[in-house]
Structure 1
Amino acid sequence: MPAARPIADERRGGDGAGDRAADGGPSPTFRRLPAWLLPTIPAVALALACFHLYTGAFGAFPNIQQRAPHVGLCLVLALLLFAPARRLDGSRIALAVDGLLIAAVLVTCGWVVVQYDRIMSIGFFPLAADTWLGVALTLVLLEVTRRVVGWLFPLLAVAFVAYAYFGPLFPGAWAHRGLSLELISEVLYSTDRGIWGLVTGVSATVIAMFVIFGGILLKTGGGQTFMDLALYLSGRFTGGGAKVATVASSLFGTVSGSAAANVATTGTFTIAMMRKLGYRRSFAGAVEAVASSGGQIMPPIMGAGAFIMAELLGVSYMEVALAAVIPAILYFTSCFAAIHFEARRCGYGTVDRKDVPSPRTFLHWRRSLPVFGPLALLISLLVMGYTPATGAFWATTALMAAYLALGTEETFAGRLRMLLDGLILAGRGLVVVAILIACSQIILAMIAGTGVGVKFSALIISLAQDHLLLSLVLAMGIAMVLGMGLPTSAAYILAAAVVAPALIRLDLLPMQAHLFVFYYAILSGITPPLCATVFIAAAMAEANWFKTALLALRLALAAFIVPFLLVYHPELILVGDPLDIIMAAVTGFVGTVALAASTIGWLVGPAGWSLRLVLAGAAIALIWPGLQSDALGLLLLLGSFGQQMLQERRRTPVTPSSSAGLEEKR
């Protein structure tokens, strides 16, 4: 297995969304177009990417005029890429129907651009054409969303529209006066509170530029550089293959922000490597699923939900990224510790030295400068206070210039062709995110129009009787249920609308409340029964998905505690005195490691149930606020460590069972 093997995303490009649904959604069915139509796909994708590069350079158009072309081009591209119902797929009828749908998209999106001044005027009164064009666009958007992520999300949007329309028929406190079809259509289509709302605006500016930046970076060699760096940093240690997956996913998360993209990219390499080293199939899939999920919370470039969070909170993206630094490190520390203990327990070894690349290769200036230079520029611009969209644009410009000057392709024409491929694949990568966000705007508009979000928050508070811990448990459950079967960004948007307000009313900081639901929206991707990220990883590892999911839960159990830490230790999001922040971070790190040891059943050596309970108690004491509890937890952990050291000295050295690392039966 050569260390320089190209990874998946450098063949596919973008954020993986062109090949899988974003954030772990169900894999869509791709259609087969006639040969004469095939050039339209790269043409539309390139037009979409160039539109965003143009607006990044010269400034975004006014809200609807920026968002309508963004959504429209993504809808057209999705109709070309994704197959309709099976009975229509591949037939002339399907092409004719989709031709009509594409025409409807062009007319409806073009109409709001042309009519922008009238729509935004103070005396706006909707015409009959506005109403029916709004209905048409909404139906097309629901159909395209169904093709991309399945039935669940569009049916949820339809349910909220039905609730808005049939409001008087609902019982008790859930009843409302109801919204007419004309008013629903007006809100969704002829205002900037519906399909063209705030979250779509984030997609049409910030997220679009970051997807383009990430797509070009990975296409031009960044993905392989990250993988080589991960191999060098962790491949030589116990369980090296699994640790490579963890490090690579954290590095790749800085430009991907999508669990599906992480799995599709790093998983192609790391799962094959773990299989070759004799790791169980379910273990290989679980490691990749858990590590890849964390990429969405890894600064400096987190998932799409983080950009949306910044907009909803009315803060800069840099504030969100800084608040997420310690929690992200906690997440990967807990995963790394669990993987280490499991690798020791099963006797998994290191990566072969010949497969560990030399720093001279991947840190050579001609290869590393086009990767790390633009990343450094991006972080510098964000720290200096530039908007994320502006920072991403200049980082992308620097990346393209550096690659054209220093790229590994031998000819200038070859490098230019590679950049064009990166733009095309980045355009494809925008499709799923943009469509999901536009569809989620339907739900958000109906929540705001009916007041159901306020009622839901009141319900959570009344059920928990103002008890914070119980409220957090309820919020966790709701966020994870919303996230099951949905991409993270969509799940977070819904949870932020109906759960986060309840937590804020219980005196949580807005950043705490939103990060809490965001983390559990992410973790739902590895939680059965609808653990979409696990499905992808298990399929790549050819493992039983249920065994993979159970093992993923074991590896990530400590990470499930991290959101509670954010609530009881606001210092972890950099709120408080520096000394308190350092103390909370250190005890949090030690506590998550202790919990991982308890979960896996290994510290220095095998841990029985009694010792595992002691380790769990130590973890809880370290996590709980207060110096006395920290001291108690540290004493319990040190005592457990000392006991295990004595046991290991007395125990006769035993060679790990030859069967421990054997591949499990299918």
Structure 2
Amino acid sequence: MSFERIIEDTSISDEEQREIIKKYDSESRFRNLNIPWMIRMVTFLAVGLALFHLITSFTGPLITLKHRALHTGVILALVFILYPSRKKAPQQKATIIDLFMSLLSLLTIIYIFVDYAGIVTRGSQPNQPDLLFSLLMVMLVLEGGRRVVGTGLTILCSLFLMYAYFGPYLPRIIAHRGYSIEDIFSYMYLTTEGIYGTAIGVSATYIFLFVLFGSFLNRTGMGQLFNDAAISISGHTAGGPAKVAVISSGFLGSINGSAIANVVTTGSFTIPLMKRTGYSKNFSGAVEAAASVGGQVLPPVMGATAFIMAETLGMPYAHIALAAIIPGLLYYIGVITVVHLRAKKQGLKGLSRDELPNMLQVIKERGHLLIPLILLIYMLFGGFTPIYAAAWAIISTIIISFVRKTTRLSIKEIFKGLEDGTRSSLGVAMACAMVGIIVGVASLTGFGLKMTSAILFLGANTLILTLFFTMIASIILGMGLPSIPTYIITSSMAAPALIQFGVEPFVSHMFVFYFGILANLTPPVALAAFAGAGISGGDPNRTGFISLKLAAAGILVPYIFVYSPELLLQGTSAGSVIWLSVTAITGVIMLGASLEGYLLTKMNPFLRILALSGAITLVIPGGLTDIIGISMLIVVLISQLLQRKRTVKTA
């Protein structure tokens, strides 16, 4: 049977994909407009915004407040047209109220552009129109965010706004002097500290362009290239389809930055293939979820978080991308190890070679699509700004698509790519605008410092306890959020506790980011795992717990690099990096063996504990820990060899 026939027989339909992604991702619950003038209006706004960002990536952005206001206002206008206010609202056309709110969103841009000089001159003394538009903008962001991102973040924003006002009446540990309605709302709209703060700033620069880049890659068939290449390389091995899911989802997840969308698009054919090979429903969904989430910590793009981290910490992008390589690879080696050992333990086979696509044919058909990615990486490491690099990557994708007829983009498809890129950015842009409210209130009231004090108090001045409570805080703060807002919130609220304890800022930010994105795998709000279960037909919570097991390296490694920053290439030599990589990879493989209870054959409880201890000591950099870990590994291997020999003799 041909590979194409296998995919056709096992993959879920496009309609089923849409239903699943709508169930778990509120960003996908948009209207399918059937009114021609509304469709044209959406196209005009979306394509116009995309072209604006492409042009300003070369000419330079507008004045900060104007640039962010234009980005946010157009995003809001599109949200009110495309997203219904409730399930029972019209799904094919925008209502009068929706159109009115869309118009108000555009007016918030006009007001800032027309009276920019007055706004700057008045400073902290806003006039009545300032206050009216400030109140209007906050309400629009809350309602637009509710429609796209969901009620969870909307409620959190509302609580923070209430906290800003009712501060004097709260318990002393979190109380503050309090602010008037005028102070709170004007701070959110008329400054670059609230809605128009850092979060929407990165949305209006890095995020938008990288989402646009991903849109064009999808239209040219880059996803198909990754899938075909992965299955050609590993499809024939034990449990091959699961390894395909890990490899292809890792590549795609790093670029598109959306774990849930990645689970549904890649998982639509990898999950049925895994089940066909013999993996259980829950395990199949968990593999795809764990692999998709891990893309957010995998260089070079890291879902665009690397660029924001670079700007926040004032570090070169190349430094962050290089530092994240070893932890990112350890995460994926950990997932593949468990997948492989599960296949060996259950005697699962891969697909036969004659069922798989030919690698040379895959490269010949779509290999040229790798050129824009290579160009992007070259420019990022060559010192060009991420914005400039992303813009050239987009242009090169369009040009390179003309190499072959199967990937060629017509003029209509180019405009469709611009529109799709803008539409794909609506969810993360709205999340960033809402995060701006949260971070703005935290900055205004000093809440971040209070949270830092609370974490340090709970940690009882002990680093390990402080790390544990910071981990819990990061998971809670990251629930249901895309990776970018997750990083911004956790780095603002949770990371300062570690920095105050003496952990380096970069290490602290990486620690909270890892656990923020793992919120997508941790029940009760494990959206990536739930999406995987939706495709596999498994139990959502069970799938979530298995995905956490698969992501065990992602839980262990952040603790290790806090105690030993060498894992992030901090203050170490090239020779040390090679040795560190070898011992860490060996440790992660032992960790997988311990969790799965299988290495060369089944392991008894004592060997599993020994393997776990050896794994931890090998992952921790250091001569003594390496000797201890290698000794434990030798004991485990000898025991496994003897046990397998006895088993063969008995058989």
Normalising TM by the smaller chain, what interval? over 0.9
The answer on whether the counterparts of 1:9 and 1:264 sit within 8 Å (CA) in structure 2 is no
What is the one-letter code of the residue matched to 1:295?
G
What residue in structure 2 maps to residue 408 of structure 1? 405
Rounded to whole Å, the distance in 2 between the matches of 1:353 and 1:654 is 33
What residue in structure 1 maps to residue 553 of structure 2? 558
What residue in structure 2 maps to residue 339 of structure 1? 339
The alpha-carbon distance between structure 1 residues 367 and 27, as it changes in their structure 2 partners (threshold 3 A), is closer
What residue in structure 1 maps to residue 437 of structure 2? 442
Which stretches in structure 1 are left out of the alignment for 5+ residues?
Answer: 656-666
What is the one-letter code of the residue matched to 1:280?
S
Of 362, 370, 373 in structure 2, the residue corresponding to residue 372 of structure 1 is 370
Of 501, 520, 527 in structure 2, the residue corresponding to residue 525 of structure 1 is 520
The alpha-carbon distance between structure 1 residues 319 and 18, as it changes in their structure 2 partners (threshold 3 A), is farther
- Summarize the alignment of residues 241-252 of structure 1 with structure 2, pairs less than 5 Å apart: 241-252=241-252
Tell me whether 1:607 sits opposite 2:598 in the alignment: no
Rounded to whole Å, the distance in 1 between the matches of 2:461 and 2:387 is 40
- TM-score, structure 1 length as denominator? 0.92
RMSD of the TM alignment (CA)? Answer: 2.6
The alpha-carbon distance between structure 1 residues 86 and 395, as it changes in their structure 2 partners (threshold 3 A), is closer
Tell me whether 1:50 sits opposite 2:32 in the alignment: no
Tell me whether 1:538 sits opposite 2:533 in the alignment: yes
The alpha-carbon distance between structure 1 residues 198 and 553, as it changes in their structure 2 partners (threshold 3 A), is closer
SS at match of 1:607: coil
The alpha-carbon distance between structure 1 residues 17 and 313, as it changes in their structure 2 partners (threshold 3 A), is farther
Rounded to whole Å, the distance in 1 between the matches of 2:470 and 2:249 is 28
Task: Give, in angstroms, the shift of residue 353 of structure 1.
Answer: 1.6
What residue in structure 2 maps to residue 661 of structure 1? none
What residue in structure 2 maps to residue 586 of structure 1? 582
What is the one-letter code of the residue matched to 1:344?
K
The alpha-carbon distance between structure 1 residues 408 and 255, as it changes in their structure 2 partners (threshold 3 A), is farther
Task: Give, in angstroms, the shift of residue 187 of structure 1.
Answer: 0.8
Rounded to whole Å, the distance in 1 between the matches of 2:191 and 2:338 is 49
- Summarize the alignment of residues 247-262 of structure 1 with structure 2, pairs less than 5 Å apart: 247-262=247-262
The answer on whether the counterparts of 2:157 and 2:437 sit within 8 Å (CA) in structure 1 is yes
What is the one-letter code of the residue matched to 1:581?
V
Task: Give, in angstroms, the shift of residue 345 of structure 1.
Answer: 1.6
Q: After superposition, what is the alpha-carbon deviation per residue over 1:384-405, rounded to whole angstroms, capped at 9, x for unaligned? A: 11110011111111111121x3
The answer on whether the counterparts of 1:496 and 1:514 sit within 8 Å (CA) in structure 2 is yes
The alpha-carbon distance between structure 1 residues 415 and 89, as it changes in their structure 2 partners (threshold 3 A), is closer
SS at match of 1:83: coil
Q: After superposition, what is the alpha-carbon deviation per residue over 1:177-211, rounded to whole angstroms, capped at 9, x for unaligned? A: 11111111111111111111122111101111111
The answer on whether the counterparts of 1:254 and 1:300 sit within 8 Å (CA) in structure 2 is yes
SS at match of 2:95: helix
Task: Give, in angstroms, the shift of residue 508 of structure 1.
Answer: 1.0
Rounded to whole Å, the distance in 1 between the matches of 2:108 and 2:185 is 12
Task: Give, in angstroms, the shift of residue 138 of structure 1.
Answer: 0.9
Rounded to whole Å, the distance in 2 between the matches of 1:130 and 1:562 is 48
The alpha-carbon distance between structure 1 residues 272 and 185, as it changes in their structure 2 partners (threshold 3 A), is same
What residue in structure 2 maps to residue 663 of structure 1? none
The answer on whether the counterparts of 1:146 and 1:154 sit within 8 Å (CA) in structure 2 is yes
- Summarize the alignment of residues 70-219 of structure 1 with structure 2, pairs less than 5 Å apart: 70-90=71-91, 95-121=95-121, 125-219=125-219
Rounded to whole Å, the distance in 2 between the matches of 1:140 and 1:148 is 12
SS at match of 1:253: helix
The alpha-carbon distance between structure 1 residues 116 and 323, as it changes in their structure 2 partners (threshold 3 A), is farther
What is the one-letter code of the residue matched to 1:557?
A
The alpha-carbon distance between structure 1 residues 443 and 161, as it changes in their structure 2 partners (threshold 3 A), is same
What is the one-letter code of the residue matched to 2:372?
P
Task: Give, in angstroms, the shift of residue 425 of structure 1.
Answer: 1.2
What residue in structure 1 maps to residue 449 of structure 2? 454
The answer on whether the counterparts of 1:67 and 1:201 sit within 8 Å (CA) in structure 2 is yes
Rounded to whole Å, the distance in 2 between the matches of 1:166 and 1:66 is 33
Of 609, 619, 626 in structure 2, the residue corresponding to residue 623 of structure 1 is 619
The alpha-carbon distance between structure 1 residues 464 and 17, as it changes in their structure 2 partners (threshold 3 A), is farther
What residue in structure 2 maps to residue 319 of structure 1? 319
Rounded to whole Å, the distance in 2 between the matches of 1:9 and 1:211 is 25
The alpha-carbon distance between structure 1 residues 123 and 95, as it changes in their structure 2 partners (threshold 3 A), is closer
The answer on whether the counterparts of 2:376 and 2:393 sit within 8 Å (CA) in structure 1 is yes
Rounded to whole Å, the distance in 1 between the matches of 2:400 and 2:26 is 36
If asked which structure has higher relative contact order (CA below 8 Å, sep 6+), I would say 1
The answer on whether the counterparts of 1:157 and 1:439 sit within 8 Å (CA) in structure 2 is yes
The answer on whether the counterparts of 1:305 and 1:518 sit within 8 Å (CA) in structure 2 is no
Task: Give, in angstroms, the shift of residue 299 of structure 1.
Answer: 1.0
Rounded to whole Å, the distance in 2 between the matches of 1:52 and 1:177 is 41
Tell me whether 1:635 sits opposite 2:634 in the alignment: no
Rounded to whole Å, the distance in 1 between the matches of 2:597 and 2:167 is 53
- Which segment drifts farther, 328-337 or 69-78? 69-78
- TM-score, structure 2 length as denominator? 0.94
What residue in structure 2 maps to residue 664 of structure 1? none
Of 373, 379, 382 in structure 1, the residue corresponding to residue 380 of structure 2 is 382
Percent identical residues: 36
Rounded to whole Å, the distance in 2 between the matches of 1:495 and 1:123 is 30
Task: Give, in angstroms, the shift of residue 258 of structure 1.
Answer: 1.9
What residue in structure 2 maps to residue 222 of structure 1? 222
Task: Give, in angstroms, the shift of residue 307 of structure 1.
Answer: 2.9
The alpha-carbon distance between structure 1 residues 448 and 25, as it changes in their structure 2 partners (threshold 3 A), is farther
What residue in structure 1 maps to residue 478 of structure 2? 483
The answer on whether the counterparts of 2:326 and 2:567 sit within 8 Å (CA) in structure 1 is yes
Rounded to whole Å, the distance in 1 between the matches of 2:244 and 2:313 is 35
What is the one-letter code of the residue matched to 1:246?
V
The answer on whether the counterparts of 2:585 and 2:619 sit within 8 Å (CA) in structure 1 is no
What is the one-letter code of the residue matched to 1:471?
T
The alpha-carbon distance between structure 1 residues 81 and 390, as it changes in their structure 2 partners (threshold 3 A), is same
What is the one-letter code of the residue matched to 1:50?
L
Report how many aligned residue pairs link the two structures. 645
What is the one-letter code of the residue matched to 1:358?
N
The answer on whether the counterparts of 1:200 and 1:437 sit within 8 Å (CA) in structure 2 is yes
The alpha-carbon distance between structure 1 residues 251 and 545, as it changes in their structure 2 partners (threshold 3 A), is same
The answer on whether the counterparts of 2:380 and 2:389 sit within 8 Å (CA) in structure 1 is yes
Rounded to whole Å, the distance in 2 between the matches of 1:188 and 1:11 is 41
SS at match of 2:289: helix
Question: Could you say which structure has the higher helix fraction?
Answer: 2
